Amino acid sequence: TDIEKGTYPFYMLKEIDEQPTVMRRLVQEYQGDNHQVNIDPALVAEFAQSDRIYIVACGTSNNAGWSAKTLIEKLTNIPVEVHLSSEFAYDMPLLSAKPFFIYLSQSGETADSRQVLVTTNKLGHPALTITNVAGSTLSREAKHTLLLYAGPEIAVASTKAYTGQIAVMSILAKAVGEYKQIQAAKEFDVFHELSIVASAMDSLINDKQHIKDLADEFLATTRNAFYIGRSNDYYVSMEAALKLKEISYVQAEGFAAGELKHGTIALIEEGTPVMAIITEEVTGSHTRGNIKEVESRGAKTLVIVTEKLAKPTDQIVLPTVHPLLSSLVSVVPTQLLAYNATIQRGYDVDKPRNLAKSVTVE
């Protein structure tokens, strides 16, 4: 397996770097000869006829579900709920009249998710598994499957599967929205936008040294750290915090920036690192206010932002992409921050303690 790693010290870094390639591969795999989306029409029709989408997943895949919620709603006009498999199994929400289930699972083997799939199959509801592994249990047992074409993901901390899942859901949502004649979907040139995302990822990946320096400065010795953002930036904050926790063991949380003042701001002390993600103008100005609030309580702040801020401040500038796809780009520096923090703290990036790549027990 060392050969597959090539010159990379860890699989995680290799897999982070592969993300632009995965985006381009998804464009190839899902684009038809006339630039239309090439997805089983039966799947598209069944999705389009449902009145509510239930995304069920664990861990990073669950975070990918959150990051796809808005884009699915905007492009298809169908409401989306995101659920943790282990909660859904024992506390099933009231279902709509025509539910459609999406199981997100990199491995396709997660027991918590499979348990829910068995139940919804019994109830006769249509289900789609989006997975990296053809022929996996969840793929075999769901009526429909879409593949991530991301190549094997070896590092326990998931990276390219997260971005792959969001990208596949954007392609699917485009197809469903077009089928339903939704204007927003007609105007959304998904394959072109994903190519722009791939280039944006490339440029962030080429900015590795800058991100490493920031990781050294912010995360080398801290006990805890916070990510904040609003709407899609909040959802990425949850994934960014999970990545940091999983491998560097820094106690990290992703907070909705507006909710800080309602309690969690009590955690901010002198020198606490707070990383803010800002890709949206409207919510961005509010998040900037929240940054000032934590700074005045002593926090050390890093801004991951689409537009360069005039004020000299620690920042990572994100290339501009379609707003519905911002998560695909804003997550990349947070993966690199987690990776570098872990190296800096002397831990094994690919094999964090207590975690398994796929969990086949409930």
The catalytic site residues sit at 357
**Neighbouring residues of 213: CB distance < 8 A, sequence distance ≥ 6:** none
In the window 104-123, what residues touch ligand G6P (CB under 6 A)?
105-107, 110, 113
- According to the binding rule CB under 6 A, does residue 61 interact with ligand G6P? yes
- According to the binding rule CB under 6 A, does residue 272 interact with ligand G6P? no
The residue range among 57-65, 182-190, 262-270, 336-344 that interacts with ligand G6P, by the rule CB under 6 A, is 57-65
Residue nearest to ligand G6P (CB): 59
Using DSSP's 3-state secondary structure scheme, residue 68 falls into: helix
> Are the C-beta atoms of residues 358 and 109 closer than 8 Å to each other?
yes
**What's the one-letter identity of residue 48?**
A
- According to the binding rule CB under 6 A, does residue 355 interact with ligand G6P? yes
Closer to ligand G6P by CB, 265 or 359: give it.
Answer: 359
Closer to ligand G6P by CB, 66 or 218: give it.
Answer: 66
From residue 5, alpha-carbon distances to 8, 10, 11, 76 in Å are: 6, 7, 6, 40
- From candidates 19, 60, 129, 137, binder to ligand G6P by CB under 6 A: 60
Closer to ligand G6P by CB, 179 or 249: give it.
Answer: 249
We find the least distance from the C-beta atom of residue 153 to ligand G6P, in angstroms, to be 9
Closer to ligand G6P by CB, 206 or 360: give it.
Answer: 360
- From candidates 19, 137, 145, 158, binder to ligand G6P by CB under 6 A: 158
| DSSP annotation string for 236-280 | HHHHHHHHHHHHH--EEEEEEGGGGGGTGGGG--TT-EEEEEE--
Number of residues that bind ligand G6P (CB under 6 A): 16
Question: Distance (Å, rounded) from C-alpha 147 to C-alpha 160?
Answer: 13
- According to the binding rule CB under 6 A, does residue 42 interact with ligand G6P? no
> Are the C-beta atoms of residues 191 and 32 closer than 8 Å to each other?
no
The residue range among 42-50, 103-111, 188-196, 247-255 that interacts with ligand G6P, by the rule CB under 6 A, is 103-111
Q: Nearest to residue 203, comparing CAs of 312, 315, 316?
A: 316
Radius of gyration of the chain (CA): 20
Using DSSP's 3-state secondary structure scheme, residue 205 falls into: helix
- According to the binding rule CB under 6 A, does residue 359 interact with ligand G6P? yes
Residues of this chain that interact with ligand G6P (CB under 6 A) are: 58-61, 105-107, 110, 113, 156, 158, 355-359
